[in-house]
Structure 1
Amino acid sequence: MTKILTAGDHFVLNSLLQEALVRHAPTAVEVSELTLPWPVEPFHPVGEVDEASGTEDELIEALQGVQVCLTQMAPLTERVLHECPDLRLFAITRGGPVNANIPAATQHGVAVTSAPGRNATATAEHTVALLLAAVRQVPQRNSELLAGEWRSDYYRYQDVGPEIRGATVGLVGYGAIGSRVAGILNGFGARILVFDPFLQPGALPESAHQAGSLEELLAAADIVTLHARLTAATTGLIGARELAAMRPGSILINAARGALVDYDALCDALEAGHLFAAGLDVYPAEPLPAASRLRTIRSVVMTPHLAGASKPTAHKAADIGASEVGRFLRGEALQHCSNPRRLPPGCPSPPPARHALDPNR
């Protein structure tokens, strides 16, 4: 009988993982569980992997004699792989396998899968929430009212922002998240402009238009929202030059990855009044440092990397991960296998590399 460890946490619960396994596992399995402390305790590097929860020691103990691990945050390190020789599948229920050492897993014959798109709807909705909050400065006005202030002077022309209807919203990236944001904003009556150099012909609806370059999009957009995957090519995608190319009084939204933006340059642009506002959910260093300049700028709306936080995201994550376990147990090709060329049995040839602006992560 195949032994499976569900290493859930306080978001993707063990109960959700095990319910999903009941739906997808084709045969009887023996299931044990380990509860990791995320997000009550922030994720952190473990061994050589990033954004993990728990310790190598507790995972090694829980994986003895186990062939399959279904988890969101457990650390798959070289040490874990060395100490757990029975492991054959490590199914990660997040958008990308950042908490797994893929080369080491491949060397040890362990397939690693992920769950791309699990939080696409939640992140798209949160992006629009940040956009609306930044345009109307809702958190700032709420804080002032709670403090006893009534600031009707914000009706001054220079202090008000645009409306969404009729505004040009520039989407940098048009994958699972960007396309959903476009659909929502189309309902507001926004003009949608997209920059994505890997966009397939005919992929855009008639309500959206394609920009020929990032510079073209930045110059035309009243609001710019980022939906790019973080790679070497996209790190620092929006720097001082790009911010200067944006329209005076425009707004930047980033719920993708913090390192896409030069935040010092963004602070400069906001303090100088070149940009009207920004809405941010991600940062180069997380948690946001106490001394960050962003904390001092009143036109910034911020949330602590919560864009994907929804109950449906947790359910989708468990379901996608458990479906991969089911495929593995049936000997079928895995849909979201992350291993490169040297693959263990049951893992298909790797898919084509996702392009730099794919937001699935």
Structure 2
Amino acid sequence: MSLRILCAGDSFITADDLADQCRQQLAEFGPLELITHVSRWPDEPMGDVDGVREAAGDPAEIAVLAADVDVIVTHLAPITAAVFESAGKLRVVGSTRGGPVNIDIAAATEAGVPVAFLPGRNLSAAAEFAVGLMIAVTRNIGAGSRGLADGRWEGKYYRYALTGPEIGHCAVGLIGYGAIGAHVTRLLLAFGAKVLVYDPYTDASKIDSAGARSVALDELLATADIVSLHARLTPETTGMADATFFAAMKPGSFFINNARGELVRTDDLTAALTSGHLAGAGLDVFDPEPPPADHPLLAMPRVVATPHLAGASQHVAHHSAETVVGQVALFLRTGTIAHCANPSALPVASV
């Protein structure tokens, strides 16, 4: 019997790459019948549909394609309750995402279908991007590029008051020491930066042994030349970067966020930049996304703003496809999954 697989990709993690990985890693399970689907993301935005979030594609179309498949591997396709109802033979779903919000996990569990996902899939890319934002905003890369694009050769950025610090001579404060925060620390230490970390959920000795220094939030804000957010979004951290937070930051310091837009009170950040209390900001995430085109934050010369690009690298795309198909192979071989969104759907014994 053949193994029927739906490979649902887009212009980032492609259906062809998913299919190629299936050919390489799943051939041992018999003849493969590969069905491909390509959404129009990122040229068309993702959205919320039929109980799932951040999805790209028509769930009705996916449900038709999923009929009689054994495996679904996907990036953004909406794997809704209707899809699970249609896919009566479905054994496993592989999601290339760090959080499979485009998959109805409750429906998957009810159908007895485990969902593999990839936490930390883009941690290296996101960490590099954070450091890139630090350099871009402190050294006028964004402002200088915009000036040239508008036909201006702006030597003014050699004025002492407009120059910025070198990373290697900065104290950089990181809020959050998860996988990305830890990798940012390693990169910054290679520059020679002094790294301060606030994370009440991580043992201070772990931070200190990595070459950084664990500090209280008030010390970090008052001391750091650059403050970068790497906290998880929770009810506790939502809006944590507010007017009080920015007022406590060192005058003339810089703010970086490529974690979650909801961590920041955008109007409070705008006010802190407008007043001159903060020297600049590097932002890859917003609340809402996209931000209004006429938002004053986007027009500020010392703000580098990008459209949620931190995870967009060729390595992330290819490695995600390779890894998620590897997880499907592991499940078909042993009945286990390294990272399963619904462990109760896993078989009790290996298959």
User: TM over 0.5, yes or no?
Assistant: yes
Q: In 1, Cα distance between the equivalents of 2:93 and 2:277?
A: 47
2: CA distance between counterparts of 1:93 and 1:52? 13
Show the counterpart of 2:57.
54
The offset of 1:236, in angstroms, is 1.1
2:334 is the alignment partner of 1:303: no
Q: Indicate conservation of the 8 Å contact 2:108/2:114, yes or no.
A: yes
User: In the alignment, is residue 87 of structure 1 matched against residue 73 of structure 2?
Assistant: no
- Give a deviation string over 1:206-227, Cα, whole Å, max 9, x none: 521111x322322221101111
SS in 2 for 1:165: helix
Counterpart pick for 1:111 among 114, 131, 135: 114
Of 153-162 and 11-20, more deviation after overlay is shown by 153-162
* Equivalences for residues 6-25 of structure 1 within 5 A: 6-25=7-26
**Shift in Å, 1:181:** 1.4
Q: TM-score, normalised to structure 2's length?
A: 0.93
% same residue: 44
More deviation, 228-237/9-18: 228-237
Which residue in the other structure is 2:125 paired with?
122
Residue 198 of structure 1, CA deviation: 2.3
Decide whether the 8 Å contact of 1:90 with 1:110 is kept in 2: yes
Q: Distance in 2 between matches of 1:346 and 1:35?
A: 35
Q: Which amino acid aligns with 1:121?
A: S
Q: What is the CA deviation profile of residues 117-139 of structure 1, one whole-angstrom value per residue up to 9, with x for unaligned ones? A: 22111111111111101001212
On the 8 A contact 1:169/1:191 being kept in 2, the answer is yes
Matched, 1:250 2:225: no
Aligned partner of 1:352 in structure 2 is none
Higher helix residue share: 2
Q: 1:47 to 1:271 in 2, by over 3 A?
A: same
Q: Does 2:211 match 1:210? A: no
Larger displacement relative to structure 2 (22-31 or 11-20): 22-31
The CA distance in 1 between the partners of 2:138 and 2:72, in whole Å, is 44
Report how many residues are paired: 346
Contact 1:165 1:190 in 2 (8 A): yes
Q: Per-residue deviation at 1:174?
A: 1.9
Contact 2:142 2:303 in 1 (8 A): no
Shift in Å, 1:201 = 5.7
Give the match for residue 314 of structure 1. 317
8 Å CA contact 1:267–1:297 kept in 2: the answer is no
| Correspondence 1:228 to 2:245 | no
**Aligned counterparts of 2:80 and 2:234: Cα–Cα separation in 1:** 22
TM-score, normalisation: structure 1: 0.90
Distance in 1 (CA, whole Å) between partners of 2:184 and 2:349 is 33
1:239 aligns with 2:214: no
SS at match of 1:306: coil
Mapped contact 1:106–1:344 kept (Cα < 8 A): no
Cα deviation digits, residues 227-251 of structure 1 (max 9, x gap)? 1222222211211111111111111
| 1:15/1:47 CA distance change after superposition, 3 Å | same
Corresponding residue of 1:278:
281
- Distance in 2 between residues matched to 1:313 and 1:346, nearest whole Å: 32
Q: Which of 23-32 and 53-62 deviates more?
A: 23-32
Q: Matched residues in 2 for 1:193 and 1:347: separation?
A: 46
Contact kept in structure 2, 1:111 and 1:347, CA below 8 Å: no
Q: 1:294, 1:345 → 2: CA distance? A: 51
Structure 2 unaligned spans of 5+: none
Q: Which has the higher contact order (CA 8 A, sep 6+)?
A: 1
Q: Pick which of 75-84 and 310-319 moved more.
A: 75-84
The corresponding residue for 1:149 is 152
Partner of residue 354, structure 1: none
- Tell me if structure 2 keeps the 8 A contact 1:334–1:346: no
Mark the runs of 5 or more structure 1 residues left unpaired by the alignment.
349-361
Residues 298, 237 of structure 1: alpha-carbon distance in 2 compared, 3 angstrom cutoff: same
Select which of 169, 177, 182 maps to 2:180: 177
Q: Tell me by how many angstroms 1:35 deviates.
A: 1.2
C-alpha offsets along residues 81-103 of structure 1, whole Å, 9 cap, x if unaligned?
Answer: 22332223121101111111222
Cα drift, residue 200 of structure 1: 4.0
CA distance in 2, matches of 1:27, 1:344: 19
1:323 corresponds in structure 2 to: 326
Decide whether aligned partners of structure 1 residues 347 and 324 sit closer, same or farther in structure 2, where only a CA change above 3 A counts. Answer: farther
